[in-house]
Amino acid sequence: MSVKQDNQPDYKILILSQRPSKPGPLSASLTLGWRALLKIKYVPEQLFDVTVFPVIFLLMFTYLFGGAIAGSTGEYLDFVLPGILVMSVTMITMYTGMDLNKDIQKGIFDRFRTLPFWRPAALVGALLVDVVRYSFASAIMIALGYILGFSPDNGFGGLVVGVLLLLVFAFSLSWIWTFLGLIVRTEKALMGISMLLLFPLTFLSSVLVDTSTMPGWLQKVVDLNPITLVVDAVRGLTHGTVTSGQISVVLIVSLGLVVVFAPLTMYLYRNKK
């Protein structure tokens, strides 16, 4: 019988026959997207703008201005809900760039660049999670609208298609703030720039009123506003008055934003020092 001595422990060494494979783009993007979801889990205050502000906007504009603008709050609710929906989702697109800027300031950005995975995954993952955030905000708005008596003429299906079109536009718009997040030095500066751009775009649009009631010169300006194009398309899908041209224009604008800002963002992301 052989006796193992105490000064000679029996170690088992694990030898891998091959190294783990490098994660693919999809796997890396989903992993970093899950990271973004966990940030929301541990800091649920991030959903404040997604949940509370849309509700405040809808209630405030419907009951403060509905009677004066449309003659009744019910008629104005049917008109304004698609507009408030677009405005709310558009306003929260800025948080994509703000989260990226925050990672840069904390040094997490530099850490990600040293890891052996597809570099754009950090951006793509964050953008995918933001689509979830936009969907959540849309669901809250629609649920509240139905409680208040909202009645889409094109049924629930048309409303869902309108939300999907809005999500496409919001995803493309997020690339602008991601691009700026790599350039601007601080998170507060980025928020200031975002507000400076978004407030004129959202309020000089057809979100709250019909553009036909505006002066001629102003109507021409407002009709060229991308937010107006999206609002008109979503409102048309909701009430069954949309044209194929309105949908095509929104898709073309969304594609244009991605074609321009996605490559610029990726270039800065790879070469930022």
Torsion angles phi and psi, residue 147, rounded to 5: -65, -35
Tens-digit pLDDT profile for residues 35-51: 777 777 776 666 677 77
Is residue 133 in a domain? yes
Is residue 11 in a domain? no
Task: State both tokens at 226.
Answer: 């991308």
Neighbouring C-beta atoms of residue 133, cutoff 10 Å? 22
Is residue 15 in a domain? no
CA-based nearest residue to 80, from 144, 136, 172? 144
Task: State both tokens at 197.
Answer: 């751009």
Is residue 155 in a domain? yes
**Contact by Cβ (8 Å): 193, 187:** no
Number of domains in the chain: 1
Which pLDDT score is estimated for 256? 95
Is residue 1 in a domain? no
Is residue 188 in a domain? yes
Is residue 108 in a domain? yes
- Domain interval for residue 222: 25-271
Considering Cα of 182, then 186, then 189, then 195, what sign does the dihedral take?
positive
Which pLDDT score is estimated for 1? 47
Q: What angle do CA 141, 242, 174 make, to 5 degrees?
A: 50
Q: Say which residues have a Cβ less than 8 Å from residue 189's Cβ, sequence separation at least 6.
A: none
Is residue 76 in a domain? yes
Which pLDDT score is estimated for 11? 47
Give the pTM: 0.81
